[in-house]
Amino acid sequence: MSQDQPEDKQGMFGAHGTGDTSGYGGLVRSEVSAGSAQRPFGGYFDQVADDLERAYPDFADAIERVVVDRGELTLHIKRDRLVEVALILRDKLKFEMSMGVSGVHYPDDKNRELHAVYHLLSVTNNQRIRLEVSVPDTDPHIPSLVEVWGGSNWNERETYDMFGIIFDGHPGLTRILMPDDWQGHPQRKDYALGGIGVEYKGAVTPPPSERRSYK
């Protein structure tokens, strides 16, 4: 689904395909990916992009895509350029604070299954932008940003714990929320939620992951 070409709206309860709205089709996940935005981006986003292009000559090579959606700017960055871009954003564009890393798993996004999303805040200019790095499931390595923003330490450990993304250069990449000997990475879409059905007077309520889906 592309965000610059919104899907045809068929009402909030839109039935697609067979028109079966019983929901017994099981859990179906669809792909989420946004199209690139064209200039002008609006707001301070043009200013940020201009400053970054000026401060970083390899801009066109390092940035895969620029997305402006719902009043937020996302820069999709090649992983081998992440640290350079982050340093320039911190030192030249005054994005002093990283508000954390969150992983997202898109199993349908082939060769870009795992995304790491960084939320940056500039206190000086009162601006926010987002960096996004995508890596394949088979090679889940992203350079660590602990050297750039020290606070990324725990955030990267959490993303490793939950998604299995390996942050190269991290001073101690271990699990943080799950036990050390845990198998698997719970937030991935292929990791089952688990749970057991509950029976009451003969009727069984299935666990949440096996209930009907309306997608």
Partner 1 sequence: MSTYADPYASSRETTEGTVFSVTGGDWDSLVTEIGQAKEERVVVNMGPQHPSTHGVLRLVLELEGETVTEVRCGIGYLHTGIEKNIEFRNWTQGTTFVTRMDYLAPLFNEAAYCLGVEKLLGITNDVPEKANVIRVMMMEFNRISSHMVALGTGALELGALSPMIFCFREREKVLDIFEFISGLRMNMAYIRPGGVAQDLPVGAVDKILATVKDLRHSFKDNEKLLVGNSIWMKRTQGIGYLDLAGATTLGVTGPVIRATGLPLDLRKIQPYSGYENYKFDVVTADTCDVYGRFLIRINELEQSLRIIEQCAEKLKSLEGAPVMVADKKIAWPAQLAIGADGMGNSLNHIREIMGTSMESLIHHFKLVTEGFRVPAGQVYAAVESPRGELGAHCVSDGGTRPYRVHFREPSFNNLQATSAMCEGSMVADIIGAVASIDPVMGGVDR
101 close to 20: Cβ distance less than 8 angstroms:
no
Interface with partner 1 (CB under 8 A), residue total 58
- The answer to the question of residue 100 lying near partner 1 (CB under 8 A) is yes
Q: Give whichever of 61 and 209 is closer to partner 1, judged by the CB atom.
A: 209
Which residues are registered as beta bridge partners of 118? 101, 131
Tokens of 179: 């036990």
75 φ, ψ to 5°?
-105, 120
120 close to 89: Cβ distance less than 8 angstroms:
yes
* DSSP helix/strand/coil, 67: strand
- The answer to the question of residue 103 lying near partner 1 (CB under 8 A) is yes
- The answer to the question of residue 74 lying near partner 1 (CB under 8 A) is yes
- Nearest approach, Cβ of 138 to partner 1 (angstroms)? 21
Q: Which member of 87, 88, 97, 166 binds partner 1 (CB under 8 A)?
A: 97
Q: How many CA atoms lie within 13 A of 147 on its CB side?
A: 12
Question: CB under 8 A: which stretch of 4-12, 54-62, 81-89, 135-143 binds partner 1?
Answer: 4-12
- Nearest approach, Cβ of 57 to partner 1 (angstroms)? 27
- The answer to the question of residue 18 lying near partner 1 (CB under 8 A) is no
Question: Which 21-50 positions form the footprint of partner 1 (CB under 8 A)?
Answer: 23, 29-32, 34
| Distance of alpha carbon 78 from alpha carbon 134, whole angstroms | 8
Q: Which of 182, 183, 184, 156 is CA-nearest to residue 168? A: 156
Q: Which member of 62, 113, 140, 155 binds partner 1 (CB under 8 A)?
A: 155
- The answer to the question of residue 174 lying near partner 1 (CB under 8 A) is no
Q: Give whichever of 16 and 39 is closer to partner 1, judged by the CB atom.
A: 16
51 close to 93: Cβ distance less than 8 angstroms:
yes
* DSSP helix/strand/coil, 16: coil
Residue with tokens 């895509």: 65
- The answer to the question of residue 99 lying near partner 1 (CB under 8 A) is yes
Tokens of 113: 């299954």
Kindly list the residues in this chain that would bind partner 1 in the complex (CB under 8 A): 1, 3, 6-7, 11-14, 23, 29-32, 34, 69-72, 74, 96-100, 102-105, 117, 119, 121, 123, 126, 128, 130, 149-155, 158, 162, 175-179, 186-187, 193, 208-209, 211, 213-215
